[in-house]
Homo-oligomer: A and B are copies of this chain.
Amino acid sequence: MIIVIKNNSEKKQLDNLVRWIEGQGLRINLSKGENTTVLGLIGDTTRVDVDLLNSLDIVESVKRIQEPYKNANRKLHPEDTIIDVAGRKFGGDNFQIIAGPCSVESEKQVIGIAEAVKAAGATLLRGGAFKPRTSPYAFQGLGDAGIDILVKAKQETGLPIVTEIMGAEHLDKFVDVDIIQVGARNMQNFDLLKILGRTDKPILLKRGLAATMEEWLMSAEYIMSEGNKKVILCERGIRTYEHYTRNTLDLSCVPLMKELTHLPIIVDPSHASGISRLVAPMSMAAVGAGTDGLIIEVHNDPPHALCDGAQSLRPEQFAELVKKLRLILPVVGKKEI
């Protein structure tokens, strides 16, 4: 860590700062230039509070050199982490496709979709039982009953299941869930992250609505520092000034995260834009960028469903997409699925 000290700072204040830093077990390399004094901090700076330093009167600016995350850091763990979920591997040269409905509505619906996506090539099943909704008046999901339906679908099809948790109080219900999803809005619900860090379930950690890559890795670190190393990251679009799509899918984070961390990263092209026509091209793009998997909404369109063309793909569109993806996977060094 490098701390740039303001010109004309009082010696007493600088001495105070030096003493405080040394009190945290760090050594200091002080370099005094004509106009600037720079402190180089040597040792483990993970616990040093950059915001606090930045707020000091005598500090002009602070620059981290070591990343503040350890468990998630590629530098300390150069090998790709491979996470095995009931035989489906995430990371390395593996590729997984998680597919299923946005919300769990009924057993018939879920099992129908599960069979269709399995036939088309999906390797895991997704479905929302607890739904985070901006409005308290919107449908909040079937809750526990929704999870029961997903577990039934897993028994029928053999597909491992992925579903979102919204509060630690529901954790008991997730015993038969294979991957627990943390939604974008809860990415910095630190109490929840700590509790999930004490389980041994793989966690699908979605990127927050406006989270930096570093904040996202720090949230992974919350889980990992409690013992659970099985974190799968999921890019799902970030908030920008452009409102034509709901969010802007940030695909450059895929190759960047592969440098910063050894954890697998997948992409959700359905939620990013909120536009079903974009799911296929953005899935192709995500594979081009090197993603370890996709999580895609698929809708089975029974007669009672809202009407054709919801934001998810129909099973036949999904099947067509998977065919194309299979042609690209070997070009980017991924194993066949």
On A, residues with C-beta under 8 Å from B are 2, 4, 7, 13, 16-17, 20, 29, 31, 33-36, 38, 40, 42, 46-47, 49, 51-52, 54-58, 60-61, 63, 65-66, 68, 75, 132-139, 166-169, 185-186, 188-192, 194, 208-210, 212-215, 218, 221-222, 225-226, 238-246, 248-256, 259, 272-278, 281-290, 306-311, 324, 327-328, 331-332
Contacts and interface: CB of A to CB of B under 8 A. Distances in A.
Contacts of A38: 2, 40, 65
B212 A332 contact: no
A52 to B, nearest CB: 7
Contacts of A214: 244
A255 B278 contact: yes
Nearest to A10: B308
A284 B277 contact: no
Nearest to A131: B190
Contacts of A7: 75
Contacts of A47: 135, 137-138
A109 to B, nearest CB: 16
B290 A288 contact: no
23 contacts: A4-B63, A29-B31, A36-B65, A36-B66, A46-B135, A49-B139, A52-B306, A56-B307, A57-B309, A60-B65, A136-B225, A166-B190, A166-B191, A208-B209, A238-B248, A240-B240, A242-B250, A242-B253, A254-B281, A259-B277, A281-B290, A283-B288, A324-B331
A323 to B, nearest CB: 10
B307 A13 contact: yes
Given A65-B38, A189-B185, A282-B251, A55 B137 contact: no
Contacts of A42: 33-34
Nearest to A244: B213
A210 B209 contact: yes
Contact of A274 (B51, B285, B328): B51
Contacts of A191: 166-167, 169
B310 A55 contact: yes
A135 B238 contact: no
Q: Which of A2, A134, A287, A309 has the most CB of B within 10 A?
A: A134
A190 B132 contact: yes
Given A58-B309, A244-B256, 10 more contacts: A46-B137, A51-B274, A52-B306, A52-B311, A54-B311, A132-B188, A132-B190, A134-B218, A285-B285, A286-B288
A61 B166 CA distance: 30
Contacts of A13: 307-309
Nearest to A291: B285
Contacts of A66: 35-36
